[in-house]
Structures are given as C-alpha cells and as structure tokens.
Structure 1
Amino acid sequence: MLETVQKVHDESRQGEAIAPNSGDSQTYAKKFYIESYGCQMNFNDSEIVASILNTQGFGATRNVEEADLVLLNTCSIREKAEQTVRQRLTEFKKTKQQKPHFLVGVLGCMAERLKSKFLEEEKLVDLVVGPDAYRTLPSLIEEAGTGQKAINVLLSREETYGDISPVRLDSNGVTAFVSIMRGCNNMCTFCVVPFTRGRERSRDPHSIMAEATDLFERGYREVTLLGQNVDSYYFVDEAGNETVTFARLMEKVAEISPLLRVRFSTSHPKDITDEVLHTMARHENICNYIHLPVQSGSTRILQLMNRTYTREWYLKKIDRIREILPGCAISTDVITGFCTETEEDHQDTLSVMEYAKYDLAYMFAYSERPGTLAARRYQDDVPEDVKKRRLAEIVALHRGHSLDSMRKDVGKTFKVLVEGTSKKSDTQLFGRTDHNKVAVFDKSDLRKGEYVMVKIDDCTAGTLIGTVVGRC
C-alpha cells in the first residue's frame, strides 16, 4: 500500500522484538522469539500468540540465540517491511543450518500472499500462519517439528480471540491496547487489509469489559480500543436482546473508573458519529484525540481510492468535531502520488491540511501493493521524483502546523499520565496529555501510573517540556 513513511512524533514500533515484562519469573521448557512489523493490530496479535504459546510450554525471549522457535509477525502495507522480513528470514536460515531443531515461522498479513515463496521456492520458513489461524499454532509447530511444511492461512468470519487473555509483551505496565474487532469491510483500493484480515466482526463486549477491568485492577491506567475501523463496531447478542454500538462500548469502558483513560484507533470518517462525539464530551477520561485519516484532499482521488466521502464532506466532519469537542486534537494519514494524481489534486491535499492543521500526521508516498484493487484497476503512473517532491511539501507543511500546535500549549497546564523514564534523560519522566502529546518533566519522587499536573514551559516540534505543579 504505502511506502516512505514520514511522521512527526516517534510512535513507530516497526520491527520490534518483544518479550514479557522482566517481572515474569515463570520457567518454560522451550523459548520463542517474536518480531512484529506494521500496525498496532500486529503487536496486539503477537500478544495473543504469546498467550497461546505459553499454554504449550513456550516462554518468550529477547535472545534469538536461545530460541527454539522464531516468529515474524508481518505486514503487507509497505514494501520496505516486506524487504526487511525477507532479509531477516535469510539471516535465520543461516542459524537454522547450525541448529537442526530450530523452527522459523511467518505470521500475519504476508502469510497468505507469499506462502508458497517462503515455504517452497525459497525454503525460508517451516510454518506459515494467517491472522485468523493462531489457535492452530500448537498443531502446526508439532507438524513442522517432524520436517513437514505447516500452513494455515484460512480467514474466518467469526474469530475474534475474545476468550484469550493477551500476554502484555514489553509493556510499561501503564498503557495497553484492547482489540475490539477484526477485519475490515471498507474496500479502499490502495489497501490489502480486507484480503489479509477478512471481513469485519465485532468482539463480545463482555469479554472486552472483562479485559479492560482486569487491566485496571492490575495497575494499568490507559487502554486504547483497537480495530481497523473502530466506529463500525456493532455487536448484537444471539438472542437479540442486547445491541452495543461503538459509542456505548466506549462509555462502558470509561465507566470502569474515572482513573482509567480511554483512547481509540482508528476511525473512518464516514463512520464516526455524533453519538461518539457526544459520548467523548460527557466523559473526562475519554481522551480528546481522534485519528481521522483523510488520505487525499482531492474528491477525484478519493473516489478512485473508494473512500466514500468527498473533500467537502470531510471538512464538515472536521467542523463537527470542533463544534462538539472544542480543542480536540486531530491526527490523520495522507497518501501522496496515488494513481493519476495531478498537481491540482496535490494542491487540494495541501489546502485540506491547511484547513485542518493536524496535530499529528502519518504521511506516505503511494507504493502499489500486489493484490489490491488499485493494482488491478489503475496504473501507478506518478513518477517517483514527483512523489518525493510532493511528499516533501506535505511533510514541510505539517511540521509547521505541528510546531504551531505545540507552541500554543506553552504556558498552559495539563493533566499527564506518567508512563516511564524519558529516552533522553534518566532524570526525567515522560507521559502524554489528553491530546496525545508527549510531555517530559523532572522525575522527583513520581511513579509510573500517576496523574500529575504539568505546566508547559517550552516545546519542540514533537515534545512538550514542563514542570510538575501538582498531583491529581
């Protein structure tokens, strides 16, 4: 789908090797090592996989050398991720030559499309498992252990893994993601997700509430409700007695405790409703932050992308958010250089960005992904040098908006949830404001999981710098 990521604020975890908290003292007979690529859904899936493997006697390790099983949870969104995965598999193949019982597997979105290449042509892996087949991992591992090639990439209309309690890999113990649905029904022409993750299905709200409540009782103070398109969450029980919309689900989670912050990602502009916005306005602990991908500011390009809204409609949605939630932070995704994009289309995108003045943006140059509708229907005809130039203009415009947004917070005081020690200084802590902006401040005697009031003294384009003026 997308190539050449540019973004302001460091939230990327692509290619991260993950393992349980250091406090996990349980001893396991075998070890697995897992790397995850791409979206947060993949990292959440890795936590589900870890839970399944724990029941089979596998414990996670950060050291690939001591692993009996190596898994790469893959992403098909960007070409770079696929290249990285292939490189890593080649490296693991060398390790396998020295360790005969060493097993290598590919999970996730690349599994279906590249299964034959990985298994047969290049002989890089022993097992390939799609996003809906993780329950079969134990039998597939056993099969691969006998020397056979093990594969299951079947998609499901029911699987939500709602009954599996994820192992919180590499968690800070304060924030966690809770998956509320899987799959996607929006057939955006640039996107491979509907083909790799299947159709939308919503998880039982009772299992979501149980997971969120358990997290809170274990000391977590923020949950992010996660889905490819959370606003389309819709659950009806088998008897037809209970219907739960996304707004109602979010409210239920917020009511667990006023000390539990609630975020959500991602929203599709066509589905975020006034009901959701008014629910956010009613609850102080539902964060005033909405990720609302625009993709393009040109109505013509939006139609080619099958985004199902126009430029004018999107701008009215921005207005509605700001009417109901004054001061709400808004972030977005932007694709430049999509098929047939003209300079006029590009200027339309820049003007939408100028109107919205996003607090955070994920900006990409279009890269054709095999299997998508765009790859079948359109020619990727915008020259690479033009894509790069347009992307640079988009990034430059957004950096100015982001810096302006940060500067407006200087002199103000915000409630911040302490998440941990700053990456740049052991004497400072960091946390995020209600608007999802990172703030750093002196450590003092503060602890992770506390809420503090921070007066902002200065800023950079990506960080607020402040002084703690009180505890909450």
Structure 2
Amino acid sequence: MIDAEDKPTAGQAEKRLFIKTYGCQMNVYDSERMADVLRPLGYAPTDTPEDADFVILNTCHIREKAAEKVYSELGKLRVLKEEKALDGRGAMTIAVAGCVAQAEGEEIMRRQPAVDLVVGPQAYHQLPELLTRTARARGERIGADFAPNAKFDALTNDKIGARGVKGPTAFLTVQEGCDKFCTFCVVPYTRGAEWSRPAADILTEARELAARGVREVTLLGQNVNAYDGAGPDGAVWTLARLAYGLAEIEGLDRIRYTTSHPNDMGDDLIAAHAELDAMMPYLHLPVQSGSDRLLRLMNRKHGRQKYFDLIDRIRAARPDMALSGDFIVGFPGETDRDFEDTLDLVRRVNYASAFSFIYSPRPGTPAATMAAQVEPHVASARLQALQALLFEQQVAFNQSQAGKVLPVLFERKGRHGRQAIGRSPYLQSVYVEDADHLMGRIVPVRVERGQQNSLTGALVDESLDALKQRAPAAQALGLQA
C-alpha cells in the first residue's frame, strides 16, 4: 500500500525502492530518511528486492558476523541483478550504506563489483546526486567527508517534504557519534565525533511527527544522554531540557531514548524521569561487564560501584523504572572470576531485558590486538550461562505485570481476528483481542499473563485514553490492581 505522499510527482515514472536494514535503531531512522530523500525522485517502497529498481543495504559494523552477512546478501543481489538484466526486466542499482560502507568502502567495491555506489552514514543525503553520477560512471564512494550538520540541513529541505512515517511511534535522531573510545567499539571510527542537533530542529521534527499522529518518540544517539545541542534560547540544552521541551508538544505523550552511557546520566535527566509523565519508565543503560578489571581494559571510565550507585539514584527517583543493558562475554583476558563478577552485577541490578554477545574483534580497535583472547568454546559457555540468567529475569519481570492495569499504545494489528498489538510503558509487546479499532490510542489494559517476550491482556475501558503514563497516576485513577 502506497500513501499519497509516496507516489511520484506528475511526469515521473514510479520506481521501486527496497531497503534492508541491519543493526541499531539509528540505522532504522537512517533508512527511513533515505526513503524520504529518494521519494521526490519517484521512488516508492517495495517489500522485496525482486521488485526493486534500487536496492540499499543499510549496514552495521559492530560485530564481524553482521559485516559478513552483508557480503552474503550482496552475492544474492548480484545474481538477481544479472537475472533481471537477462530477462529484460530492467536495470537494478545496488548501494551499500551505513557503517560497513564507511569502514570498508574500497573493500566492498573490490569484493563485489555488482555494487554501484557506497555511501557512509553521514552522506546518505547525497543519494540523489550519487544516483545521477552512477548513471554516468559507476563506483562513486562518499565516506566521512560530510559533517552530520550538513546531512541534517539537507534533510530539512522543503523539496524532501515531511517524513514518511506511518503509525503512532517514530525514531528521532538527536545526537550522533561517540567520543568514549571503548577499546572494543568501532563506532567512533565509523560515526565520528559526538555531535548534537540544534534543539529547535528536533522540536520542529517532533511537532511534524505529532501532527502525523505519532504519540511516542524514541530519541536516538550513540551516546544520546551526552546530548548538548544549541537551544533556541541561546543556551546549551541537555537531554533533560530537550525532554521538557518535547513534553510540551500537543499529542506527543511518550518519550524514550537510547543508547545511554552511565557517565552521561546527569542529575537533571534523572529528575526528568521523576517529574515528566511523558518519560517512559524504561531505561537502556549498558554496562558491558561487571568486572572492574575488564571495565578498565574496555576503557569504560566507570566501575561497578559507580554503576550500582547510579541505579540506586534512578530507582529512588522513579521506583517503577525497568532497566535494560548490554553485556559482552569473552573480552580479551576475561577470567572465570571476571565473569562471575558480571553474573553478580546482573543478579544485583535485576534487569527487565538485556542484550548479550560474545566479543567480536573489530579491525582497528585496540581490543583486537590485546593478548589473552578467550577461546571460542569458553566464551560460548559463558554466554549461555549469562543468557540463562537474563532470560530468567526477563520472564520474571513480565510475569510480575500480571494483574496490573497498564496504559498501552496500540500500534498494529495482530495475526488473529481483531487482535491488536500495543506497547506498554516498559516496552513490552501487549497482545489484546477485539482491539484492532484502537490504533494510535493509549488505552488501559489489564495484564492477564506475561510470557518470555510479551504480555497478554484485556481492555479495561476503551473509552478512556490513558494520557497519564506513570504507575502512580494509574493507581490514583483506580487502574492499578
């Protein structure tokens, strides 16, 4: 289904665009904006590469396997491109975008000649120009030669128009880059230094999203809570100040943000969680390891006790806060004692959800050349033990919601009958029967049971729009069991 704004303008032939997105939420945002940039050229989205005139792989470079998946996908696209040409179905343009493109542009061109262009994450606003150049001479590459401000300036161009967002939730990039230089991480080399968008630009984009029916925004950044953008009042705004500004936008009822660094979790941001109903009680706060020794080797610039103290302050301000985290096992030099420290940290914090991975050496990062690389079978066994504990905590948290009444933002239809799927304040998917007429609304739902990855519930009173998000507010309304 193509909305009116997705259709080509008069005189343009409709062309088909397929974008496959790997990795983080920021890549999802970038993919949406690439589609926005290409829409004025007559490109409408399609669900399969077989139907596409232009295929973009928007890539992630965080782990080795993610990069190799890109090369595997390119091999399949090469065959498809050749078959379309032989069958007379027209030409296909293939682009690689994102962090793999930034880090391995020349290697991509060497390994896969079917690729027509490579564009880094700070230059995708150049896609229309690149397509024109590629039509004349293939092999353009745009890397880190463009600053983020140039990209976002281009994205606000009136020729692009409003974002092609559908549904009541949307991502909104507010900050890019990283200055932390964790020894395992390639992001500073692919996304560049930390940079924050001006607050006025973010507020304008948020108002446009709210006007299109978006009720929940997730603010994105590699270190989103390091946000320090210029405010319309001339002062530097923190993420907390930005959240207050966003909370004033009519129709915008929920604010989330990811990904955060413990060292950038300021007192004002913690206070915002306590004071703003729109701030959701779910925080992704990666720690990576529970071992002080490994945290030093990772260059995290904080220890486990600082993390514990921070969690205590957050929970004191917002008792219903649910926490999520990231963990790496098998980091070079990790001992059994180091791993036990990680398990101990997980037990003490008690996460609602988490992501855990085996360490993957990335070329160019300090950790890739460290001694005492952990044997794969040891790292695998540790990952299984960690994930078993995290799984236990996640299931327990979801099951603890049974009997409660939560405000649920309904986002999409389910697979069965009139089933609808919504999102709880804690980011859980909530399945509710006879609710497919409530898309875009926030409605009280009584949770009947919690599963591994979701909740199942029933409507309490669909005539009530649960604008007050916080559990204390729900309790005051008599909605909490």
Specify if TM > 0.5: yes
The alignment status of 1:54 with 2:39, answered yes or no, reads: yes
1:56 deviates by 2.9
Q: Which residue of 1 aligns with 2:403?
A: 411
Q: Which residue of 1 aligns with 2:428?
A: 437
Which residue of the other structure, out of 278, 283, 289, is the alignment partner of 1:296? 289
Percentage identity across paired residues of the two chains:
38
The farther-off stretch of 245-254 and 151-160 is 151-160
Q: Which residue of 2 aligns with 1:189?
A: 183
State the one-letter code of the partner of 2:7. Q
Query: Does the 8 Å CA contact 1:103/1:145 hold for their aligned counterparts?
Result: no
Query: Does the 8 Å CA contact 1:428/1:440 hold for their aligned counterparts?
Result: yes
Which residue of the other structure, out of 86, 89, 93, is the alignment partner of 2:74? 89
- Give the Cα separation in 1 of the matches to 2:259 and 2:334: 25
CA change 1:21–1:233 in 2 (3 A) is: farther
Give the secondary-structure state (helix, strand or coil) at the position aligned to 2:430: strand
1:356 deviates by 0.5
Higher relative contact order (CA 8 A, sep 6+): 1
Q: Which residue of 1 aligns with 2:279?
A: 286
Give the secondary-structure state (helix, strand or coil) at the position aligned to 2:149: coil
Q: Which residue of 2 aligns with 1:462?
A: 453
Give the secondary-structure state (helix, strand or coil) at the position aligned to 1:159: helix
State the one-letter code of the partner of 1:347. E
- Give the Cα separation in 2 of the matches to 1:289 and 1:45: 24
Query: Does the 8 Å CA contact 1:189/1:373 hold for their aligned counterparts?
Result: yes
Matches within 5 A, 1:27-426: 27=8, 29=13, 30-98=15-83, 99=85, 101-159=91-149, 161-163=151-153, 164=155, 172-236=166-230, 241-257=234-250, 259-376=252-369, 378-379=370-371, 381-423=373-415, 425-426=416-417
Q: Which residue of 1 aligns with 2:473?
A: none
Q: Which residue of 2 aligns with 1:428?
A: 419
CA change 1:146–1:370 in 2 (3 A) is: same
- Give the Cα separation in 2 of the matches to 1:68 and 1:444: 38
Query: Does the 8 Å CA contact 1:172/1:419 hold for their aligned counterparts?
Result: no
Which residue of the other structure, out of 444, 457, 460, is the alignment partner of 1:453? 444
Give the secondary-structure state (helix, strand or coil) at the position aligned to 1:104: strand
- Give the Cα separation in 2 of the matches to 1:101 and 1:188: 43
Task: Write the deviation string for residues 4-55 of structure 1: whole angstroms up to 9, x where unpaired.
Answer: xxxxxxxxxxxxxxxx865655135233221111111111111221122123
Give the secondary-structure state (helix, strand or coil) at the position aligned to 1:161: helix
1:155 deviates by 4.3
State the one-letter code of the partner of 2:184. F
CA change 1:176–1:380 in 2 (3 A) is: farther
How many residue pairs align between the two structures? Answer: 449
Q: Which residue of 2 aligns with 1:12?
A: none
Give the secondary-structure state (helix, strand or coil) at the position aligned to 2:229: strand
- Give the Cα separation in 2 of the matches to 1:417 and 1:184: 32
Query: Does the 8 Å CA contact 1:156/1:198 hold for their aligned counterparts?
Result: no
- Give the Cα separation in 2 of the matches to 1:59 and 1:246: 35
1:461 deviates by 2.0
- Give the Cα separation in 2 of the matches to 1:205 and 1:367: 36
The farther-off stretch of 399-408 and 315-324 is 399-408
- Give the Cα separation in 2 of the matches to 1:399 and 1:445: 30
Query: Does the 8 Å CA contact 1:21/1:168 hold for their aligned counterparts?
Result: no
Q: Which residue of 1 aligns with 2:474?
A: none
* TM norm structure 2: 0.88
- Give the Cα separation in 2 of the matches to 1:445 and 1:274: 40
Query: Does the 8 Å CA contact 1:267/1:292 hold for their aligned counterparts?
Result: yes
The farther-off stretch of 444-453 and 245-254 is 444-453
Query: Does the 8 Å CA contact 2:169/2:217 hold for their aligned counterparts?
Result: yes
- Give the Cα separation in 2 of the matches to 1:31 and 1:266: 33
State the one-letter code of the partner of 1:351. D
CA change 1:135–1:411 in 2 (3 A) is: closer
State the one-letter code of the partner of 2:429. V
Q: Which residue of 2 aligns with 1:3?
A: none
Query: Does the 8 Å CA contact 1:160/1:203 hold for their aligned counterparts?
Result: no
Give the secondary-structure state (helix, strand or coil) at the position aligned to 2:172: strand
State the one-letter code of the partner of 1:402. Q
State the one-letter code of the partner of 2:302. Y
1:216 deviates by 0.9
State the one-letter code of the partner of 2:287. V
- Give the Cα separation in 1 of the matches to 2:436 and 2:132: 50
Root-mean-square deviation (CA, aligned residues, Å) is 2.1
The farther-off stretch of 206-215 and 20-29 is 20-29
- Give the Cα separation in 2 of the matches to 1:380 and 1:367: 14
1:139 deviates by 2.4
Q: Which residue of 2 aligns with 1:8?
A: none
Query: Does the 8 Å CA contact 2:247/2:276 hold for their aligned counterparts?
Result: yes
- Give the Cα separation in 2 of the matches to 1:190 and 1:138: 35
State the one-letter code of the partner of 2:261. H
- Give the Cα separation in 1 of the matches to 2:289 and 2:418: 42
CA change 1:421–1:185 in 2 (3 A) is: same
1:263 deviates by 0.8
CA change 1:58–1:441 in 2 (3 A) is: closer
Task: Write the deviation string for residues 252-308 of structure 1: whole angstroms up to 9, x where unpaired.
Answer: 001113652111111101101110011121111211111000100001001111111
The farther-off stretch of 98-107 and 335-344 is 98-107
Q: Which residue of 1 aligns with 2:7?
A: 26
Task: Write the deviation string for residues 427-467 of structure 1: whole angstroms up to 9, x where unpaired.
Answer: 32121221222221112463201111111121212222111
Q: Which residue of 2 aligns with 1:4?
A: none
CA change 1:407–1:95 in 2 (3 A) is: closer
State the one-letter code of the partner of 2:361. E
1:337 deviates by 0.7
Which stretches in structure 2 are left out of the alignment for 5+ residues?
466-481
